[in-house]
Amino acid sequence: MNSTNLFILFFLFIFFAILLYSYFYQSSIKEGLKGIQGLPDFSNFFKEIGEIFKFVGSLPRRFRALTDGTRKIFRGINDEISGMQKGFSIGYEDITDLIHHLWEFFTNYFNCGQKFLKNLPYCIVFYILDFIGNIMYLPITIIIIICKNFLKIDLTKIETKIWNGIYSTDIKLSKFIGFRLTKYPRYISDMCYSCKRLKLSVIEKRAINAAYDFTVVIPPKLVQGVDNIIAGGERLIDAF
């Protein structure tokens, strides 16, 4: 059954309900005319006739309220169904997208962990060299921190200039010796330090988008037909 037939059946039901109401509302006329003996008693007859004409005169208004209320209710139901479909679609896309990127994130890190464990026997020498280098540079780091926090002397700019000079000299020197002194060769970096993986910021962005949709975008769509349904119900009440 399509929406047009459903609307017609609903309208006929409401219309016959009004007629039945009118019939039982006027049933007192029959009680007044029961058992007429001698001269008829017309004490309430004309009053009841007036009520009938008053009710008949209100039928156009009731009919307009009935049709308007029915139309608003069906429009509200249609909006509600459409809004729910859109809301659930947005929510489904957000959840599946977030799950997909989470799976990719954990898969990448798991694969990288396997790679580094597999290459550990070869790479451990370079890790030890890094550790020794950091230990040797630790006193300089402590001096920079003390000067900045207690003596209010910021040496970080001087440190940066010194390292930039070292890097620049290393690059020029590598043209003659064939390798860098301040940087591992590419194959060592790829084997021991580099691994292609999804950044955590991507997951954070997807999670923020999903939270925004579920708290701001989706809720209004789930209730976008409620106002029309309420207004239609109020108009149907006016028809009785």
What pLDDT, on the 0 to 100 scale, is given for residue 127? 92
Dist CA 149 CA 124 (whole Å): 36
What is the pLDDT at residue 42? 47
What does the pLDDT read at residue 33?
46
Q: What is the pLDDT along the chain (240 residues), one digit of tens a residue?
A: 555 655 566 666 665 565 555 555 455 444 544 444 444 444 555 455 556 656 565 667 667 777 777 788 888 888 888 888 888 888 889 999 999 999 999 999 999 999 999 999 999 999 999 999 999 999 999 999 998 888 888 888 888 898 888 888 888 887 877 777 788 888 888 899 988 888 888 888 988 998 888 888 888 887 788 887 777 777 767 666
Per-residue pLDDT at 35: 45
pLDDT at res. 231? 75
pLDDT at residue 37, as a whole number: 45
At residue 57, the pLDDT reads 59
User: Which residue type, as a one-letter code, is found at position 131?
Assistant: F
